[in-house]
Each structure stands twice: as C-alpha cells, then as structure tokens.
C-alpha cells in the first residue's frame, strides 16, 4: 500500500521525471531513469537521485544513506551476498519508509511514502544514492520508461490494470 502525504498542491499522477545524465561513454551521453527519494529511519536522509532499475530485485541504497537516516544496520539479521557489477557485495536489509518526492515542486515536503525492505550495501559505486527495483517499488507503482521522451512516468499501481484490463497478480 502506498500512502500519500502531501499538501493540497501536490500534482496528480502520473508524475514525470526527466532522465538524468550519468557521464559520457563511447562519445555518447548516458541517460538514466531516476527519481528523487529519501529514506526514513530515526531521521530522514537527504533527498537524492535513485535509479529505477527493472533488473534489480530489491530496493538498495548506499551505506551513507543508512548513516544519514540513522539506521542501525547492526541490528539486522537479514543479510545476503548479492552479485553486483561482477562481484559479491554484502547487503543488510531493514524495513523502512521510502519517500518518492513529487517532480516540479519546491522543497521536499510533497511525496508519497510506503514501507518496504531496503538493502544497504557494504560498499557502493553508483553515482546515485539508491536503486529502486522490482520488490518495494515496481510492485507498488505502474512505471513507464521512455527513452524517446527521456522521461520516467510513475502512476498508482492499478494504472496498468485500468489501461490494459489485466488483473493485478497476487
């Protein structure tokens, strides 16, 4: 379930996020589908970019996000080694609140939030602070990627069903 916390001026879904540049490779600018998020522990971590990654199974975040949100990773008993970037990386999972911040709104107080399991990596290389994967993000929203428009659209979870008449899976 996704709960909305926002003032009356919050934009309606879909929320459109522009792709962001992530460096140059082979003489071409790399564009990434990202959305601004924050993670809530005992504190709220600063809003930062998260890559929306359909190939990732989990919501994963950098170790500095855990420190900023005052998340006690030592109390976690859920740990796994995941293969990322060709190497095994230790990941500790904690149940937390994730906030997706609305596009085009001043400040960081307009968002939707939900509870999910977030995995924190022992070390982090990406240029964004988190990955939003299948479980914990793509299972809660209908997400459309458009490389042609260089936009990411996020809608409520039932939007796919309404559009295509396909019932939601259990």
pLDDT category at 3 given cuts 50, 70, 90 is: low
* Residue 102 covered by a domain: yes
* Residue 124 covered by a domain: yes
Residue 4 has pLDDT above 80, yes or no: no
pLDDT category at 23 given cuts 50, 70, 90 is: confident
* Residue 168 covered by a domain: no
CA distance 148 to 163: 21
Over residues 155-162, the mean pLDDT reads 90
* Residue 55 covered by a domain: yes
* Residue 19 covered by a domain: no
* Residue 18 covered by a domain: no
Closest CA to 119 of 78, 162, 152: 78
* Residue 98 burial (10 A CB sphere; 0-12, 13-18, 19+): buried
The pLDDT tens digits of the residues spanning 65-91 come to 999 999 999 988 999 998 877 888 899
How many domains are there within the chain?
A: 1
Number of residues assigned to the chain: 170
How, if at all, do strands 151-156 and 15-18 pair?
A: antiparallel
* Residue 105 covered by a domain: yes
Find the domain containing 37 and state its range. 3-7+24-162
pLDDT for the residue numbered 9: 58
**CATH code assigned at 154:** 2.40.70.10
CA distance 49 to 167: 31
How much is the CA Rg of the chain, to the nearest whole Å? Answer: 16
Closest CA to 62 of 130, 110, 14, 117: 130
């Amino acid at each position: 379930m996704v709960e909305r916390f926002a003032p009356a001026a919050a934009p309606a879904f879909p929320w459109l996020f522009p792709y962001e540049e992530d460096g140059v490779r082979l003489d071409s600018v790399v564009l990434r589908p990202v959305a601004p998020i924050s993670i809530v522990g005992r504190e709220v971590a600063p809003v930062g970019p998260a890559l929306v990654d359909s190939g990732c199974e989990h919501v994963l975040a950098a170790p500095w996000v855990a420190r900023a949100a005052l998340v006690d990773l030592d109390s976690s008993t859920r740990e796994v080694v995941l293969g990322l970037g060709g190497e095994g990386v230790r990941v500790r999972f904690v149940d937390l609140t994730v906030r997706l911040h609305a596009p085009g709104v001043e400040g960081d107080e307009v968002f939707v939030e939900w509870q999910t399991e977030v995995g924190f990596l022992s070390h982090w290389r990406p240029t964004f602070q988190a990955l939003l994967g299948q479980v914990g993000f793509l299972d809660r929203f209908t997400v459309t990627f458009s490389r042609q428009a260089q936009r990411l659209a996020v809608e409520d979870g039932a939007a796919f069903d309404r559009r295509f008449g396909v019932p939601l899976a259990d």
